[in-house]
């Protein structure tokens, strides 16, 4: 099995248009982002996310899984373009894109508030790996979605997309300019806001995550400002017995999501 090579130049218009999606402003303008590798594109097919174009190099056909993906893309009616390895590496964010890069649509951002009583609100988290961890954990614990605010990194940043391991395709993500906008959105929907703060007196395991809960986490460097904490229903911390100063926000948010999920399952 093979694909005919039709694009050999990095200056090709399709290649340049795809490469533009590495920039946040272009992703937001087009409502699209780049998805690399076999696993990611399998997830896109499984979830029904719109696949606009796919760039394929001969490397994809080195094993049976790559060949099977190609057949699925053909069956789905995807627009496929054969490219050289050099061209694909020019578009991709990784050194080893596994012979395939797709342009896919950004998924629906409508939170599934009827599916779960839990939402994670994230403010000012700039590390794509941490945000990717939070998205992946939100998927694992079945949250209704994420709300991002402030200068939080774009969840469709290539590094963040990889860190989610496909979860970014399944978890609804809504964005507001300010964290107060996130709180004002959740409260009329019946959510109590539970903030994470390392200086809190209350331990998270002593808090009753009852009913609809919006768990709020802040930036890695500065946490949440006092004026925001005052708007929350409760402030909790995660106890630590070792010598580490703190958890990173990806770990801390995941622990709180699990505790809220565990309690809701126990009822």
Q: What region, left, alpha or beta, does residue 48 occupy, with left being phi > 0 and alpha being psi -120 to 50 degrees?
A: left
Q: Angle between the 64-75 and 38-47 helix axes, to the nearest 10 degrees?
A: 30
Is 225 in contact with 259 (CB distance < 8 Å)? no
Q: Tell me, what's the pLDDT at 264? A: 86
Topology, domain 5-105: 60s Ribosomal Protein L30; Chain: A; (3.30.1330)
Return d(Cα 109, Cα 144) in angstroms, integer. 11
Return d(Cα 138, Cα 119) in angstroms, integer. 8
Q: Tell me, what's the pLDDT at 267? A: 55
**Phi and psi of 196, rounded to 5°?**
-100, 130
**Backbone CA torsion sign across 86, 92, 97, 102:** negative
Q: What averages of pLDDT result for each successive group of 10 residues across the chain (267 residues)? A: 90 97 97 96 96 97 96 96 97 92 95 94 97 98 97 96 96 97 96 96 95 95 93 96 85 97 81
Beta strands in 150-233 (DSSP E): 173-175, 192-196, 202-203, 213-217
Return d(Cα 221, Cα 96) in angstroms, integer. 32
CA–CA–CA angle 197, 200, 203 (5° rounding): 100
Q: Tell me, what's the pLDDT at 266? A: 63
Kindly tell me the burial class for residue 93, based on how many C-beta atoms sit within 10 Å of its own C-beta (0-12, 13-18, 19 or more).
middle
For the domain covering 118-266, report its CATH number.
3.40.1280.10
Is 145 in contact with 119 (CB distance < 8 Å)? yes
Give Cα 3 to chain centroid, integer Å.
Answer: 31
Return d(Cα 265, Cα 139) in angstroms, integer. 16
Domain with CATH 3.30.1330.30 in the chain: 5-105
Q: Tell me, what's the pLDDT at 146? A: 98
- The pTM score is 0.94
**Phi and psi of 80, rounded to 5°?**
-110, 140
Q: How far is CA 101 from CA 25, 40, 135, 152, 239, in A?
A: 20, 9, 22, 25, 43
Per DSSP, the three-state class of 267 is: coil
Q: How far is CA 63 from CA 1, 60, 152, 154, in A?
A: 10, 7, 38, 33
Strands 100-105 and 51-56: antiparallel
Domain with CATH 3.40.1280.10 in the chain: 118-266
Other CB atoms within a 10 A radius of the CB of residue 37 amount to 21
Is 123 in contact with 218 (CB distance < 8 Å)? yes
């Amino acid at each position: 099995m093979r694909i005919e090579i039709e694009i050999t130049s990095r200056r090709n218009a399709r290649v340049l248009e795809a490469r533009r999606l590495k920039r946040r402003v272009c992703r937001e303008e087009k409502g699209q982002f780049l998805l690399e590798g076999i696993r990611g594109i399998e997830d896109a097919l499984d979830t029904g996310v719109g696949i606009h174009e796919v760039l394929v190099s001969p490397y994809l056909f080195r094993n049976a899984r790559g060949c099977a993906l190609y057949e699925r893309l053909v069956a789905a009616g995807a627009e496929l373009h054969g490219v050289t390895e050099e061209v694909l590496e020019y578009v991709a964010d990784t050194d080893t894109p596994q012979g395939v890069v797709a342009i896919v649509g950004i998924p629906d951002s409508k939170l599934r508030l009827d599916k779960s009583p839990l939402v994670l609100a994230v403010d000012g988290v700039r590390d794509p790996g941490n945000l990717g961890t939070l998205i992946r954990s939100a998927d694992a614990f079945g949250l209704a979605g994420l709300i991002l605010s402030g200068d939080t990194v774009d969840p469709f940043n290539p590094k963040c997309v990889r860190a989610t391991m496909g979860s970014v395709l399944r978890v609804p993500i809504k964005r507001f300019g300010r964290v107060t906008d996130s709180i004002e959105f959740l409260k009329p929907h019946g959510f109590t806001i539970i903030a994470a703060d390392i200086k809190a007196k209350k331990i998270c395991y002593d808090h009753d995550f009852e009913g609809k809960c919006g768990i709020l986490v802040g930036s890695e460097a500065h946490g949440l400002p006092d004026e925001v904490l005052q708007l929350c229903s409760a402030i909790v911390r995660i106890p630590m017995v070792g010598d580490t100063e703190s958890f990173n926000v990806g770990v801390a948010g995941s622990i709180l999501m699990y505790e809220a999920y565990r309690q809701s399952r126990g009822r």
